[in-house]
Amino acid sequence: MSIRIGDIAPNFHAETTNGPIDFHDWIGSSWVFFFSHPADFTPVCTTEMGRTSQLSDQFEARNVKPIGLSTDTVEEHKTWVLDVNDTQNTTLTFPIVADKDLKVSELYGMIHPNESTTAAVRSVFIIDPDKKVRLTLTYPMNVGRNFDEIIRVIDALQLGDAEKIATPADWRPGGKVIIPPSISNEQAKDIFPQGWDEIRPYLRVTDVNQA
Ligand code: BEZ
């Protein structure tokens, strides 16, 4: 099954390094950064786990809970986390799903059989508090993800929700934003009293409060 933007993230029950979870209960009223890894005790994965842990304040400031997944056991995960902490100079506290039987990986389309039938590729799902999938990303096993981009896209999604805007290519917090074509100029006068620049009738840019 492929999971698409706008879908409700499928629920599952799983063992994690922080105990058993019902995924939807665990999400609660938070956003979620759900990301998979091929295997424990592998170099790229170790750096990604460390980076996520190092960014825990950044995730928390955005009401985002990280949760990892790897196709190994809880015991293996826990031993690996000691290595992650040691080598990446961090203290990892977020849960890692133990998916030895590939149940969750299969449910989320993280197994790409022409790459591996036993290990997950590097999938990302950003899920909102309504349990809706807001972003998916898939990276190959030998390329680590860009965590600045993960944070950036969460900022873009949350700003878009708050201000009814879209964000242009390479947007960074504080940058100009786009008034979506679904908002007429009449409506825009109420929503964006600060005004906008109309570069084309379909390309209107403005500034919004980005505290
Ligand atoms: C790694 O995490 O380094 C890795 C895992 C599986 C395949 C290639 C690299």
Residue at which a domain ends, from 120, 146, 172? 146
Q: What is the CATH number of the domain that holds 40?
A: 3.40.30.10
Of residues 19, 2, 41, the one with CA closest to residue 125: 2
How close is the Cα of 21 to the center of ligand 1, in Å? 27
Residues with CB under 6 A from ligand 1: 38-39, 42-45, 141-142
Provide the whole-model pTM.
Answer: 0.97
In this predicted model, what pLDDT tens digit does every residue of 29-55 receive, in sequence order? 999 999 999 999 999 999 999 999 999
Query: Which H helix or E strand runs over 41?
Result: none
CA of 56 to the centre of ligand 1 (A): 23
Tell me which residue has tokens 């109420």: 190
Position 68 confidence tier, pLDDT thresholds 50, 70, 90: very high
Q: Which atom of ligand 1 is nearest to the CA of 45?
A: 2
Q: What is the CATH number of the domain that holds 172?
A: 3.30.1020.10
**Residue 210: is its pLDDT beyond 90?**
no
Query: Which residues constitute the domain of residue 173?
Result: 164-206
pLDDT digits (tens, 9 = 90+) for 157-173: 999 999 999 999 999 99
